[in-house]
Amino acid sequence: MKSKDIKNIYLIAICGTGMAALAGLLRGAGYRVSGSDANIYPPMSVLLENAGIPILPGYRKENIKGDIDLVIVGNAVSKTNEEVQAVLEAGLDYTSFPEALSRFFLEGRKSLVVAGTHGKTTTAALLTWVLHASGRKPGFMVGGWLKNFDNNHQVPEGDYFVTEGDEYDSAFFDKGPKFLHYRPDISILTGIEFDHVDIFKDLDQIKDAFRKYVSLIRPEGVILVKHADANIQDVLGEAVCRVESYGYLEGADWRIGDYRFEGGYGYFSLSYRAEKKADFQLAMIGRHNVENAAAVAALCIGLGLTVDEINSAFKSFQGIKRRQEVVGIKKGVTVLDDFAHHPTAIRLTLEAVKEAYPGQRVWAVFEPRSATSRRKVFEQEFPDSFLAADQVIFAGLFAPEKIKKEDRLDPERVVTLIRQKGGNANFIPEVDDIVGFMAENVENKDVVLVMSSGGFGGIHQKILDQL
């Protein structure tokens, strides 16, 4: 069925972050949208309700009606799902989330895609804000909540659409990565590391996925890559477009210089092949976020934006929820929330927090929750990533029963290794016990960095409530 003939769209697993954003985009574009989910909870349920999108609880074949023109199937939904079976029996048109995004919003527009193991969400959000603040009216869909928009999506009015390029699989009928559907004209590639152990068996398999992605960028396009990343260099052989690098080291096409952090802002200069382009001021913490900003600046200069337009947006960027987000300050104790769950992300986040809060004691409170962090694959890498913290608390694994015993991370082992390396660490499995320990031991001016890929039992507010 041609897109112009489609009026009524139904999403199976509509409350996922990406699916809810897609539903909002479709509703904003004038389609009649509804869907179902077994787990209906904020913030996505609120987003959908505010958009006037009905959500049916649970998956029932009765939900699949004859007036549905198109069904979009979430990537976690199996072929045995009752609604999927009803769709197949009725012979209804169905597609995956990434293919639907491409079909309805990327075709005919300049597709700007941010891909990589780390920094995708922040970089895509910053790029979106720069384009929006400069009047380009981009569409976007990002895997985090952008504070400037109070949303994670926007229907495009201009020529650009910004997408966070996820390497996760697309659907039960399409096990290829989502980003292969996104028609990239210009891309930022922030780095490649091993992750998503539930999808990829090793780093080579991840590299293969990125090779396919890189090959999609048209000859007239450009890909901006993190400088001196060996894994990126391994995949660039498939590129047919121009490749430019960004980073701090000599040899980067777009080189960052003069970095300093003062008064809540990162200051840096950016030169292109030894010719200085501009000085920038970024309302974010961390050297890694300056790297992300350099990539955005380089891309936007290539699109014809002025330095003043870019810098003004950098200064007014409010960030993303769950990325070094201040949850609250009580009795001189600052509680931060962050999504970090990979050793590299944890290390970079801790370094950023230590820089932003000089001379203050930093607690790292970590929940192994993601598919990768619950497995022993990073058991040897985790200890080093936490050494910048003054105090470390490891919680128990989230839903350990879903991981084979022989594959599970051993948090007590990680804590032992941290101590052997000179760090201060404790293993406290339960949230309430962590809260009690924190209430007894935190001091004025301490910074508590809570890291988890999920809600972590509402621990952030519980800590504040007990102070």
Checking if the pLDDT of 1 tops 70, the result is: no
What is the rounded CA–CA span in Å between residue 226 and residue 414?
A: 30
What is the rounded CA–CA span in Å between residue 253 and residue 180?
A: 26
| Residue 35 to residues 38, 74, 83, Cα–Cα distance (Å) | 11, 11, 11
Position 94, amino acid = Y
Determine the pLDDT at residue 197.
73
What is the rounded CA–CA span in Å between residue 14 and residue 438?
A: 37
Whether 393 and 451 have beta carbons less than 8 Å apart is answered as no
Give the contacts of 100 (CB within 8 A, at least 6 positions apart).
22, 26, 70, 72
Split at pLDDT 50, 70, 90, the class of 333 is very high
Q: pLDDT for 29-84, tens place per residue?
A: 999 999 999 988 878 888 899 899 999 999 999 999 889 999 999 998 999 999 99
Determine the pLDDT at residue 294.
98
Q: pLDDT for 400-457, tens place per residue?
A: 998 899 989 999 999 999 999 999 999 999 999 999 999 999 999 999 999 998 889 9
β-pair partners for 95: 72
Domains of the chain: 7-92 (3.40.50.720), 100-316 (3.40.1190.10), 325-466 (3.90.190.20)
Give the contacts of 88 (CB within 8 A, at least 6 positions apart).
none
Whether 222 and 302 have beta carbons less than 8 Å apart is answered as yes
What is the rounded CA–CA span in Å between residue 121 and residue 434?
A: 29
Determine the pLDDT at residue 3.
64
Determine the pLDDT at residue 398.
93
Determine the pLDDT at residue 39.
86
Whether 319 and 432 have beta carbons less than 8 Å apart is answered as no
Query: 129: burial class by Cβ within 10 Å (0-12, 13-18, 19+)?
Result: buried
Give kind and range of the element (H or E) at residue 215: helix 203-215
Whether 97 and 170 have beta carbons less than 8 Å apart is answered as yes
What is the rounded CA–CA span in Å between residue 31 and residue 456?
A: 36
Q: pLDDT for 226-284, tens place per residue?
A: 999 999 999 999 899 999 999 999 999 999 999 999 988 999 999 999 898 899 999 99
Length of the chain: 467
